[in-house]
Amino acid sequence: MVRTATLFLAACAACTPATPAAPSPSPSSEAVDPAPAASSISSATDAASPAPAGVASGDAGDAGVALDIIYVPTPQKVVEKMLEVAHVTRSDVVYDLGCGDGRIVVTAARKMGAHGIGFDLDPDRVTEALANVQRTGVGASVSIRRENVFDVDLSPATVVTLYLLPEINVRLIPQLEKLRPGSRIVSHDFDMQGVIPDGHWTITAPEFVNDEGYSAYKGGAVPEDKKNYKERAHDIYLWTVPLKKSPPRGVDAGVALAR
């Protein structure tokens, strides 16, 4: 699935576990407490092992949250294609897990009239996303929350968007399976092992990671075009709830379906 190590560095940095804020299903713009929260992944990761990319290691305490991965946004062209293949409309509630600058939920509100909530643990990203919400005037439809994506109650969502690592997508399956039937999940670049996608698209768009694996993103003021960025093929995957599981290895697909 992963073509290069660079793509691992390109995944969103917002899945760092921490004490979550209490969620509210009402998607309205809100202030987020930027006070650092302690991080813990003991329930899913051996404490003696290195934290996976995008996950904080150790206690943040008063020193702030330590993020182990660079922030790279999803190109706007890819954002719009993700929302298109998920058939987002004004009746949808879009949850973006690892929202970065909030561009996915902001675009869903501006172009489709949808409501949305973006979740990120990086206080800088939360501040940036809140500013984006205010600047674009979608505060009545979009809120941004500083929260651990593994603790988010996804049940109010009808669409969930992801730009996370493959192993993190897999860890999210128990939460995603609780979505209402017909809900859509759409992922940039990374699939979900063990779950069969309903669709797979490839789109050419800017590359925001340089050859050394560091962010090449130049900020929102710089156009996302060939003049400022080289381009590459980006993958988009779509799933619909209930998720269709792949048969176990060694089991004939026809036999598995018959069961």
Measured CA distances, 118 to 93, 127, 154 (Å): 11, 12, 12
Q: What is the pTM of this model?
A: 0.74
Range of the domain at 58: 5-258
Q: Find out whether 20 and 108 touch, Cβ atoms under 8 Å.
A: no
Q: What pLDDT, on the 0 to 100 scale, is given for residue 254? A: 53
Tokens of 187: 């992922």
Please give the tally of structural domains in the chain. Answer: 1
Cα separation, 15 vs 22, whole angstroms: 17
pLDDT digits (tens, 9 = 90+) for 100-136: 999 999 999 999 999 999 999 999 999 999 999 999 9
Domain CATH code at residue 69: 3.40.50.150
- Cα 58 to Cα 68: distance, rounded to the nearest angstrom: 11
% of the chain residues with pLDDT over 90:
64
User: Residue 5, Cα to own-chain centre: how many angstroms?
Assistant: 19
How many Å from the N-terminal Cα to the C-terminal Cα in the chain? 29
**Token pair recorded at residue 63:** 């020193």
Structure tokens at 88: 């987002």
Closest to 175 (Cα-Cα) out of 15, 56, 8: 15
Q: What is the pLDDT of residue 250?
A: 61
- Between the CA atoms of 21, 27, 31 and 37, what dihedral angle is there, to the nearest 10 degrees? 20
The residue type at 205: A
The answer to whether the peptide bond before residue 223 is cis (omega within 30 degrees of 0) is no
